[in-house]
Structure 1
């Protein structure tokens, strides 16, 4: 039998270099590697469907001079080995090259005879110049005969033959030997992945260049997969909102689903298709887990075969774990839901049990939640003490989002405990308390008695959420329950002890025990070590800074507040997890020292953090500071209006602070009557209440009542330095009113001495004009008085931290009057990244606007 080829279009297509698609991106880095590879005997291009293998080789082939010999053979599924070698011979003939066969040469139907391969190899050996032969689609040829023939020809053809093989899987050649001998150039799937620059060119096409955020989103979603990017680019042309398309995972999945279902899933044998559908519900799949989900003993072998044929399944090096391309996984899930919607939750639940049995509770919770098995998910969370990291570790699994869809009426204590923790993670102490009471009732009625983990979880939640400051007993109970934990459990949860100390300190602060709260927060900071406790360290330092500021220890407050912000920046804590406590503390320092611009900047800086508005104590602190700032600026009515704004239910101590702020604003407005009425509603407040009440009585013309209050406040152990400075000023004012100017000056001097170490300016600036009159002759205290009451120079403003190099670059562009979008384009950053850098700049320079940032930076010689 002989093979003859008529001049038909099918043959021409098989032997022609494929036509380049419109909008093809020339990828010079890969073209150069292909050129280098064809200087040797063998180049292998492998990758998944749509990875750009053929497009790359065709682009390279078409760029070669016409005189450079090249034969291209495209293989189809129904090509026999005999037909394949006949196509090779015909390709050589059409290029005018010796083929080792002539017209009418016998070619066996079932296999290429060894004699013909010998003649073909001899023909290649006689070539005067190098010849490149590209075989596209080698994986489509059934059996090993073509692979064996290529191996024979490669090893006997001499140096003139340069073979380029394009395949979805490794050919049956001794690649390990070729590598060792330096005879093989490989371009693999990872090499074919588009770079950011290449993706931008492809997505831009003939239209305007997409913005950086669109490129980054689609590049991350497709992981540089060429077909996925091209299909997304085509879909974007048809949408009026490219950015919305890029942000939507569903849109990009729809753009490529038909391709993946047809080219990848449908191309697999039935057992492999079933495995892909069942395991595609997972982000990662272990070989044993695949066997559990499919019931097949050959699951691992099937996964290995899927890896070998580049079916978007990737092994994790050194393990028996595998991952799917994220787009392929989403397509598999959507396809499974359309075919068998009842199967997906069952698979998740089965996976949850497999993870739990394997000692991986976090993954078990995720899978149980995905399968709607909320009771199992909650039980695992409580049993394995995962409520603590849910509250204290950003990005921990599980998170509050894991339980967002959990029904509220589930029986048992564990779901109620988890629901309480989720509310507390959103700073909803009241909601936490409601669910916690339900859990505690169920724990009391539990049979058998609850485990220590259940009790410890409940006690920690009570300690952290209790609004009444009854924390000592709960803290002791938590410590006793922690003694029952195994060494492994304690080592695995380093956040529990600092969380207990932090909660105890907050309870003490709510009870008004400021000194005990500061001691407890220092213990919490000391107990924090390593990455898992970074958020707790940030929060504890911020609360400690607030407590320092409340105690009048401004230098320590500034130190601890700055350290808190530094921890947040160093560990990249997200805004949703950060605390506003440190910014509030630094604002308090700035208010007390009269640096009003810095105070405003820090108050603006803490606004994006959830606890600033949701946590009752911090929300109260922010209202108080805004009111004090308004008073300092002479805006009395603004100060009163701020305090009328709604706030979460607060502790008695926080209520007292609001009353003091309200009374102070009224006194600044010349209204002692309102101040007396407001303070009458706080019969047992902190010493600051007595101080302001005394100021109100003195302003109302009742010096005797004022002095009785002064004497009582002076004996109070909890009186702060700021309180004692105000008490000295009260005695000075009373003495002046009584006509004893010498005694008044002496008291004013004592107030200056007490205020000077911490630069407590606000008591003097708010005391009234009588202080300026009295300060004309302070007998050696005049310089100190001027330092306290003079307006701080701009160069004295609080600079929290040096700007990073990237922040300096952003600030330089801002100084050129560029918009946020223009800065992003200039520095090749996303707009959101630029906004993050701007917030850091404002915070570090203690400003709230662009222009102020530029001015401050020039004053400090940063620009």
Structure 2
């Protein structure tokens, strides 16, 4: 039977509910790690549980109080806003009486509502000191206590009640107690907001209680959005359970924001005083806020104090360690933005613009650009981007701010030179070379164009864009960049280590277009060495891919493999998304496989490379892709299909640069010769003037003249090509084979065999097989009579292993573990659970396995691994 309660000093009855342990909601996740911590905490005199609304403070303590883990009786008290010190201690005393720790008339009751007599606290401490065993007093909602009277009373009782009293204080903010002294004395155990954040395992359990077992990716998304906030997870789980597409709900940050909006507006924003509410609404547009920035947005000189108070009371605002900056919980920030838009839609862009000016004044140009773009002030954003050389990270794709995405909403007709330069850079970052050239022409053609009278930063930006988008030679642009760098403030150059590797990369690519293969390889090697640090990771990936491609064209197949594998490894290691990856490395590995007559591997690599955007947008890679397709079809005997891949490029009104033009012409001629169409081969080669063509073009002409039975002309061309320092290994092999074939036709069989052995010795270090296959069946017949020298031919007849058995790169330890689980017929989700990985991570490892084993399916990967004794 419940004993009626009364408080004589107010005349109002005491509420039994305030002394009851709160009801445990259905579906509560039992968080044993925190229950254990609370049990350990109550071994000492004071345990403090603090955190924002909805992080699970009360739920944790209530769950613990209802368990059998407490060291003794538990007295629970829930505070209300209007509880005065006298009322508070009246409830404490009544709770102790109900627990049986105090006799009914042992102490009496407080006689004053607004204060408590010191003698009462002394008698209470004395009574507790004599308690036979531990006693736990839980005070929930301590932040609601008025003034400091309650806190000072708790401090006194805690200090004098002896070891039996175990206080558990639950609050949204740190109480005004000497916590630093308690910590030093080892008397305080703390459970903070970050401790209360849900772990992945706890989040899975919570979501399972609300509906079907969630996908791992869904759990990861919700944890990322809520940062483990208990109420946010529960509200999102309930909303997701009602959603027709739970996965789409999890992917939508807006859906999560709507699910928690009412809670945050009511429990967090509405309870703040007016100055704090106004500050939150005006600064919520930012990811991070500084007191001075808050002052600029609000006009309040006390912004720092308000932010400090918000952080202290855990209003989803937290300080960034070691700085004066603060951050908002992402969901709270989104709720604030939505609330501001609904109340004052015209204010948000103005606040962003004001923030942009503040950042610019502080020398934080990247943040200034972001805020100006958010506020639609494109002229200011572009001016900051060009003036501070921020075009460099856009072009390098460093992932830093600003990026091409920052300017995705900028109208194409935004007036001015700098917006045009930035638009050109964004096009170049998307491999839209033609778009870059047109916008660059607009920037340079206006009355204030990036000419000699422009600022050095404008001219440097224009020169860099001109270099990267140049259709032909660009040495002058590269030298101009070097000269302009000397005129730009040194600190700006130091901030942007991307500029030098971009210059080297652009110059090397221009050399490739001009047919200067060796210069291009040397330039790309320098560019790779110049790429250092996180700012140039993506650029290093691209440079290595282009270098691998240049190596493959030069016949340096081993180097091409190494550089191509390194490019792909960087992309995998740093998690570069497919939208930003370059297909150059894949094209290079396909070229290596084609040269070695490993056609299945070549097809796999080429298929993968074609999935990446730059193999469709970048003119150079587009041509290289078509050439490789033609070579692959030619090797399979599909000559018409090979020529169809090249026709579109050869028929274009705007002729490609000399290097790509020669590659197209030679590929077309090779396909035509394989079919026996000498005239078509000659016509294709005529597209490239002989004086502009590289040695490969001369070699192809010699092959055409030899096929047309013009040995004198063929020999002249052979001698011309042999004199060139730029002749590649594959073409050197072809030249020797041409001489061998001529000797054979002239009846000099021994001479022909000697030349064949020379060609084999030249080709063997790189495993080159395509020149021998293209030369025709006479090679096989001649090689059959090599007698004691037949070992020179064995590697050609029997490749390193069947084409389908090659491995581009060794599997990592984690990839082997994933492959072992796949071999057990486990699904992606099961593999992830077994290895404690996310599903996305498993998928990334699978892509790496497919690439390294030259397969495209799980079953093929397992079979290939077994053939290679990996399983």
User: Which TM class, normalised by the smaller chain length?
Assistant: over 0.9
Distance change >3 Å, CA 603–CA 708, structure 1 → 2: same
Change (3 A) 1:105 1:435: closer
Identify if the C-alpha distance between structure 1 residues 831 and 626 changes in structure 2 by more than 3 Å, giving closer, same or farther. Answer: farther
Instruction: Note the 1:579-590 alignment, pairs <5 A.
Output: 579-590=582-593
Give the corresponding residue for 1:725. Answer: 733
Q: CA separation in 2, counterparts of 1:721 and 1:699?
A: 22
Native 8 Å contact 2:107 2:124 kept in 1:
no
In structure 1, distance between residues paired with 2:504 and 2:183: 60
- Following superposition, the deviation at residue 531 of structure 1 comes to 3.1
Report how far residue 374 of structure 1 moved: 0.7
Listed as ranges, the gaps of 5+ residues in structure 1 are none
Deviation, structure 1 residue 175: 1.2
Q: TM-score, normalised by structure 1?
A: 0.95
When structure 1 is superposed on structure 2, of 94-103 and 534-543 the one drifting more is: 94-103
Partner of 1:326 in structure 2? Answer: 330
Give the distance between the partners of 2:467 and 2:451, measured in 1 at CA: 25
Q: 1:103 and 1:483 mapped to 2: Cα distance?
A: 85
Alpha-carbon contact 1:687-1:716 (below 8 Å) kept: yes
- Once structures 1 and 2 are overlaid, which stretch shifts more, 6-15 or 453-462? 6-15
Alignment of 1:501-650 (within 5 A): 501-643=504-646, 650=656
Residue 850 of structure 2: aligned partner: 842
CA shift in 2, pair 1:605/1:363, >3 Å: same
Deviations 1:199-256 (A, max 9, x none): 1111111533211111111111111111000101111110121111111000000000
The verdict on how the C-alpha distance between 1:386 and 1:126 changes in structure 2, with shifts beyond 3 A counting, is same
Pick the aligned partner of 2:314 from 304, 310, 322: 310
- Pairwise mapping of residues 175-186 of structure 1 onto structure 2 (< 5 A)? 175-186=179-190
| Structure 1 residue 695 corresponds to structure 2 residue 699 | no
Alpha-carbon offset, residue 772 of structure 1: 1.4
Distance 2:684 2:461 in 1: 40
Tell me, yes or no, if the aligned pair for 1:600 and 1:848 is still in contact at 8 Å: no
After superposition, the Cα gap between the structure-2 partners of 1:638 and 1:72, relative to the gap in structure 1 and judged at 3 Å, is same
Q: Which residue of 2 aligns with 1:851?
A: 859
**Within 2, Cα distance between the matches of 1:500 and 1:330?**
41
Greater mean deviation of Cα atoms: 655-664 or 444-453? 444-453
Question: 1:4 and 1:739, CA in 2 relative to 1: closer, same or farther beyond 3 A?
Answer: same
Q: Distance in 2 between matches of 1:806 and 1:777?
A: 50
CA distance, structure 2, for counterparts of residue 175 and residue 310 of structure 1 = 17
Residue 217 of structure 2 corresponds to which residue in structure 1?
A: 213
Q: Distance in 1 between matches of 2:465 and 2:169?
A: 63
Once residues 567 and 583 of structure 1 are traced to their aligned partners in structure 2, the CA distance between those partners, rounded to angstroms, is 13
Q: Within 1, Cα distance between the matches of 2:238 and 2:134?
A: 40
CA distance in 1, matches of 2:672, 2:313: 78
Q: In the alignment, which residue of structure 2 is the partner of 1:226? A: 230
Q: 1:65 to 1:791 in 2, by over 3 A?
A: closer
Alignment partner of 1:675 is 2:681: yes
Residues 18-33 of structure 1: matches in 2 within 5 Å? Answer: 18-33=22-37
Q: Name the CA distance, whole Å, in 1 between partners of 2:270 and 2:854.
A: 60
**Structure 1 residue 589, shift from structure 2 partner:** 1.8
Higher mean Cα deviation, 840-849 or 228-237?
Answer: 840-849
1:644–1:61 CA distance, 2 compared to 1 (3 A): farther
The answer to whether 1:480 aligns with 2:483 is yes
Q: Which moved further from structure 2: 476-485 or 816-825?
A: 816-825
Greater CA deviation, 763-772 or 727-736?
727-736
Shift of 1:739: 4.0
User: Residues of 2 paired with 1:304 and 1:173: CA distance?
Assistant: 18
After superposing the two structures, state which structure 1 stretch, 766-775 or 575-584, moved more.
Answer: 575-584
1:635 deviates by 3.7
Deviation by residue 1:499-547 (Cα, 9 ceiling, x = unmatched):
1111111111111121222222222223333333333333222222222
**Number of positions where the alignment pairs a residue of Structure 1 with one of Structure 2:** 861
Match of residue 267 from structure 1: 271
Structure 1 pair 104–161 and aligned structure 2 pair: CA distance change class (3 A): closer
Query: TM-score, structure 2 length as denominator?
Result: 0.94
Which residue of 766, 772, 776 corresponds with 1:768? 776
Instruction: Note if contact 2:42-2:167 (Cα within 8 Å) is conserved in structure 1.
Output: yes
The CA deviation string for residues 735-783 of structure 1, in whole angstroms up to 9 with x for no partner, is 4334443443343333223323333211111221121122222365432
Q: State how far apart, in whole Å, the 2-side matches of 1:670 and 1:20 are.
A: 86
How far has the Cα of 1:571 moved from its partner? 4.1
Distance in 1, matches of 2:450 and 2:829, equals 59
Q: Secondary structure at the match of 2:775?
A: coil
CA apart distance, 1:427: 0.5
Separation in 2, partners of 1:90, 1:3: 10
What are the residue-to-residue correspondences of 1:154-169 with 2, within 5 Å? 154-169=158-173
Distance 1:691 1:59 in 2: 83
| Structure 1 range deviating more: 455-464 or 4-13 | 4-13
SS in 2 for 1:310: coil
Which deviations, in whole Å up to 9, do the C-alpha atoms of 1:678-704 show, x marking residues without a partner?
Answer: 333333433323333443444445545
CA RMSD across the alignment: 2.6
Query: What do residues 262-314 of structure 1 show as CA deviations (whole Å, max 9, x unaligned)?
Result: 00000000000001111111100011111111111111011111111110110
Superposition pairs of residues 132-281 of structure 1, within 5 angstroms = 132-205=136-209, 207-281=211-285
Q: 2:71, 2:498 → 1: CA distance? A: 71
Residues 561 and 585 in structure 1, CA contact (< 8 A), matched pair in contact too? yes
| CA distance in structure 2 between the aligned counterparts of 1:126 and 1:809, rounded to whole angstroms | 62
**8 Å contact kept, 1:775–1:785:** yes
Rounded to whole Å, the distance in 2 between the matches of 1:92 and 1:430 is 82
User: Would the aligned equivalents of 2:705 and 2:713 in 1 still touch at CA under 8 Å?
Assistant: yes
8 Å contact 1:475–1:500 — kept in the other structure? Answer: yes
Cα distance in 1 for partners of 2:648, 2:64 equals 69
Report which stretch shifted further, 770-779 or 700-709. Answer: 700-709
* SS of residue paired to 1:579: coil
1:827 corresponds, among 829, 832, 835, to: 835
2:661 alignment partner, one of 641, 648, 655: 655
Q: Residue 116 and residue 448 in structure 1: after superposition, are their counterparts in 2 closer, same or farther (change >3 A)? A: farther
Q: How far does residue 167 in structure 1 lie from its aligned partner after superposition?
A: 0.7
| Conserved 8 A contact 1:315-1:323 | yes
**Displacement, 1:708?**
4.6
How far the C-alpha of 1:361 sits from its partner, in A, is: 0.5
Instruction: Provide the rounded CA distance (Å) in 1 between the counterparts of 2:586 and 2:64.
Output: 58
Q: CA deviation at 1:584?
A: 1.8
Q: Which residue is 2:672 aligned to? A: 666
- Structure 1 residues 237 and 574, CA, compared in 2 at 3 Å: closer, same or farther? closer
Task: Determine helix, strand or coil for the equivalent of 1:173.
Answer: coil
Contact 2:311 2:317 in 1 (8 A): yes
Say if 1:100 and 1:113 are closer, same or farther in 2 by CA, change over 3 A: farther
Partners in 2 of 1:709 and 1:9 — Cα distance?
A: 112
Distance 1:831 1:422 in 2: 32
Q: Which residue of structure 2 aligns with residue 496 of structure 1?
A: 499
Bigger shift: residues 713-722 or 699-708: 699-708
The answer as to whether partners of 2:93 and 2:109 remain within 8 angstroms in 1 is no
Which of 51, 69, 90 is matched with 2:73 structurally? Answer: 69
The CA deviation at 1:726 is 1.4
Equivalent residue, structure 2, for 1:754:
762
1:365-397 deviation digits (Å, cap 9, x = unpaired) = 111111111111111111111111111142121
- CA separation of 1:748 and 1:235: change in aligned 2, threshold 3 A: same
The SS at the match of 2:82 is coil
CA separation of 1:669 and 1:834: change in aligned 2, threshold 3 A: farther
Provide the rounded CA distance (Å) in 2 between the counterparts of 1:5 and 1:215: 53
Is the aligned partner of 1:356 residue 2:393? no
Q: Which residue matches 1:785?
A: 793
Instruction: Provide the secondary structure at the position in 2 that maps to 1:793.
Output: coil
Q: For 1:105 and 1:142, how far apart are their aligned partners in 2?
A: 19
* Cα shift readout 1:143-174 (whole Å, capped 9, x = no counterpart): 11111111121122222221111111111211
Cα gap change, 1:10 to 1:826, in 2 (>3 Å): farther
**Distance apart, 1:9 and its partner CA:** 10
